[in-house]
Each structure stands twice: as structure tokens, then as C-alpha cells.
């Protein structure tokens, strides 16, 4: 085995280690023939992902990528726009665990449909709960007694999540150069989170006090409301999988009683129930307009603003201000 080829605690030779070996071998061959323009074999190897991390949600995948950078290959068990509380994996879902070095779940009961797969694990890869470091007194307790899982809507809670994921990546990767890169990436990301928090605070302050009622399809914005001084009401809670006639009737009564400036659809849910509640309320009072689409339960699609965690925060804030101001 060539000097410097990574040996990783006796585990099987994976596609990733073969790729790293190929990169090192290619660098050695090229260095004997042509100039590499200053690139070293270590730099070439660093371009090949060192760890494969499987996350339960796209939000977590984006956060792990921000910390791990190019040294981490991140896979997510859910597609964009999936509602994690109601998502049920397909029969081939276990294939995503091939060569996994680390599994990351959100926790707080967010992804019940994935729990059995995550508990089964993958070839002994450790399972980390991203939210486990958040102090219990920082969590919102729902009427049924469970903790509200949608903590990412309060950026001030995310340093605990970043810290936990940073530790998990460093535990899985003992390379000192990589560990230093994870530290650097984390500091940069935490600064970006702080800037996003300041942006949300500045933007949402523009909503006048008598209009600061956020009416949404799903009960996913309690942390946002607490952080930025918005009251929230919702058609659905996580106690039910799908809206019932009783849910629609209850929310229609809320709309009549509270008269929000606008009501918002969730990108991860069908708008049908919200539209039905609005029309039912309008039969006895003024029509509550649709304020637009918010990303409460899941991440947006593709290379878009709402397709990244920090962009999602800003996108939601801008939409709320545009509708309620």
C-alpha cells in the first residue's frame, strides 16, 4: 500500500477510498512528468469527499455541507419540499446508507417515518441527533406535551446544532487538516447565521404591531414567532397527518375571530384545506387573502434562494413582510 494512503479503522475498501487512492496515484504520476501548478497531493486528495454523511432532512443536509465543505459527501433521505413529519420512505430507502460513515437525524419527533431505518443504521455508522445539544428550556412545548421540532426557524438556536454536527464530523474524521477546515467552516457559517438573524429582525420589525398575526397552514412557525414577536395560528398541528373537516371548521372560526391580514400556504402541503377554511370563513365575514407560500416544514427545491437554509429564512421573512406590512 503506498505511503499516505488512508487506512480507516479496518473498514472495507469503499468507492471513496478507491477514488482517493486514484487521486493520489494520479498526482504522483503527474508530478514526475509535468508541473501541477503548485497543487500538492494533499490538496488533490482533499478535493475527494472523505466522509459520506446521510441526513434525515434536506435542512440538515445543507447545514452539514456548510460545515463539511468539499470533504463531505452528503445524502438526504427526503426530497426537497417533503413534510418530514408526514414523510414515509419508499422500499429502496435503505440503499442510501451504502458506504455511510455518519447518520444524522433531526430528532424531537420530527421524522417518525424514518426512525426504524435510522435505528437500523448502516454497517455500524454512528447515529447523531442534531438537536440533542439544545437546552430543554430553549424548546417550545406543545399542548400535547411534546417539544416543537421546528427549531431552525429561530437562528439563535442553531449554534447548538452546528456545534453538535461539528463534533460528529471531527469524531468521524481524524485527519488534522480536515478537522481544521471543519472548524473554519463552522465559524464562517455561524457568522452567516448571525447575519441572517439580524436580517430577519430588521425586516420583521417593519410589520406594525396590530398586524403581527401569522396565520399558516401548518404549525411550524412557533419558534419564528417567539424570536421575532409574531403571534401564530395554524390550521394543522403535528398531531394529525391530514386535515379533517373538524380542522377546517376550527380554523375558519379562528379566521373569523382573529381577522388576520393574510393567510399563508405551506410549500410542503396541499393548499386545498387552507383554501376551504378561507372560503368557509368568507361566508360569514370578510375574505382573508392568501399572503403567499412559506417554507415551514421543508427546504425549497434546487439551486434557489429557498433551496438553502439561510436563504429560506430570508425568503420567508420577505414574504411575511410583503403580505403583512
CATH number at residue 257: 3.40.50.1980
In angstroms, rounded to a whole number, what is the distance separating the alpha carbons of residues 38 and 71? 20
Cβ atoms within 10 Å, residue 126 = 14
* Residue 283, Cβ density class (10 Å: 0-12 exposed, 13-18 middle, ≥19 buried): exposed
Residue 289 sits in the same domain as residue 307: yes
Domain limit, last residue, from 26, 48, 70: 48
Residue 110 sits in the same domain as residue 144: yes
In angstroms, rounded to a whole number, what is the distance separating the alpha carbons of residues 45 and 19? 9
CA geometry: angle at 318 spanning 312 and 322, to 5°? 145
In angstroms, rounded to a whole number, what is the distance separating the alpha carbons of residues 258 and 233? 9
Residue 32 sits in the same domain as residue 158: no
Q: Residue 20: which domain range?
A: 1-48
Cell numbers for 6, please give them.
488512508
Residue 112 sits in the same domain as residue 243: no
Cβ atoms within 10 Å, residue 238 = 23
Residue 53 sits in the same domain as residue 192: yes
In angstroms, rounded to a whole number, what is the distance separating the alpha carbons of residues 46 and 8? 16
Helix (H) or strand (E) holding 233: strand 231-236
Cβ atoms within 10 Å, residue 97 = 19
Residue 152 sits in the same domain as residue 272: no
Helix (H) or strand (E) holding 22: helix 15-33
- The residue among 24, 23, 27 whose CA lies nearest residue 35 is 27
Residue 42 sits in the same domain as residue 74: no
Cβ atoms within 10 Å, residue 249 = 14
3-state secondary structure of 196: helix
Cβ atoms within 10 Å, residue 181 = 21
Q: Angle between the 309-324 and 58-68 helix axes, to the nearest 10 degrees?
A: 130
Total structural domains within the chain: 3
Residue 231 sits in the same domain as residue 244: yes
Q: Give the predicted TM-score (pTM) of the model.
A: 0.84
Residue 53 sits in the same domain as residue 193: yes
Residue 191 sits in the same domain as residue 53: yes
List the chain pLDDT tens, one digit each, 325 residues: 333 323 334 333 344 443 444 343 433 333 333 333 343 444 444 456 689 999 999 999 999 999 999 999 999 999 999 888 888 888 777 788 888 999 999 999 999 988 888 888 766 899 999 999 999 999 999 988 899 999 999 999 999 999 999 999 999 998 999 999 999 999 999 999 999 999 999 999 999 999 999 999 999 999 999 999 999 999 997 666 688 999 999 999 999 999 999 999 999 999 999 999 999 999 999 999 999 999 999 899 888 889 999 999 999 999 999 999 9
Amino acid at each position: 500500500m503506498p505511503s499516505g494512503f488512508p487506512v480507516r479503522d479496518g473498514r472495507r475498501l469503499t468507492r471513496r477510498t478507491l477514488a482517493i487512492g486514484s487521486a493520489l496515484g494520479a498526482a504522483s504520476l503527474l508530478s514526475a512528468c509535468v508541473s501541477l501548478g503548485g497543487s500538492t497531493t494533499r490538496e488533490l486528495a482533499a478535493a475527494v469527499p472523505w466522509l459520506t454523511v446521510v441526513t434525515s432532512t434536506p435542512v440538515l443536509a445543507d447545514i452539514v455541507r456548510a460545515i463539511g465543505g468539499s470533504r463531505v459527501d452528503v445524502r438526504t433521505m427526503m426530497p426537497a419540499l417533503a413534510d418530514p413529519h408526514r414523510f414515509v420512505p419508499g422500499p429502496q430507502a435503505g440503499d442510501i446508507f451504502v458506504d455511510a460513515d455518519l447518520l444524522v437525524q433531526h430528532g424531537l419527533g420530527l421524522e417518525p417515518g424514518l426512525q426504524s431505518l435510522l435505528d437500523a443504521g448502516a454497517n455500524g455508522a454512528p447515529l447523531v441527533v442534531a438537536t440533542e445539544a439544545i437546552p430543554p428550556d430553549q424548546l417550545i412545548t406543545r399542548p400535547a406535551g411534546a417539544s416543537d421540532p421546528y427549531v431552525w426557524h429561530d437562528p439563535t438556536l442553531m449554534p447548538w446544532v452546528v456545534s453538535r454536527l461539528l463534533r460528529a464530523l471531527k469524531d468521524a474524521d481524524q485527519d488534522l487538516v480536515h478537522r481544521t477546515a471543519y472548524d473554519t467552516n463552522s465559524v464562517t457559517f455561524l457568522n452567516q447565521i448571525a447575519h441572517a438573524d439580524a436580517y430577519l429582525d430588521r425586516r420583521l420589525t417593519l410589520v406594525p404591531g396590530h398586524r403581527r398575526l401569522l396565520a399558516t397552514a401548518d404549525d411550524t412557525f412557533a419558534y419564528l414567532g417567539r424570536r421575532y414577536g409574531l403571534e401564530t395560528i395554524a390550521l394543522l398541528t403535528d398531531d394529525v397527518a391530514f386535515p379533517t373537516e373538524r380542522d377546517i371548521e376550527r380554523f375558519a372560526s379562528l379566521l373569523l375571530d382573529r381577522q388576520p391580514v393574510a393567510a399563508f400556504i405551506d410549500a410542503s402541503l396541499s393548499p386545498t384545506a387552507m383554501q376551504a377554511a378561507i372560503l368557509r370563513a368568507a361566508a360569514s365575514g370578510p375574505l382573508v387573502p392568501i399572503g403567499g407560500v412559506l417554507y415551514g416544514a421543508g427546504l425549497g427545491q434546487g439551486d434557489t434562494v429557498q433551496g438553502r437554509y439561510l436563504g429560506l429564512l430570508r425568503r420567508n421573512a420577505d414574504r411575511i413582510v410583503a403580505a403583512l406590512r
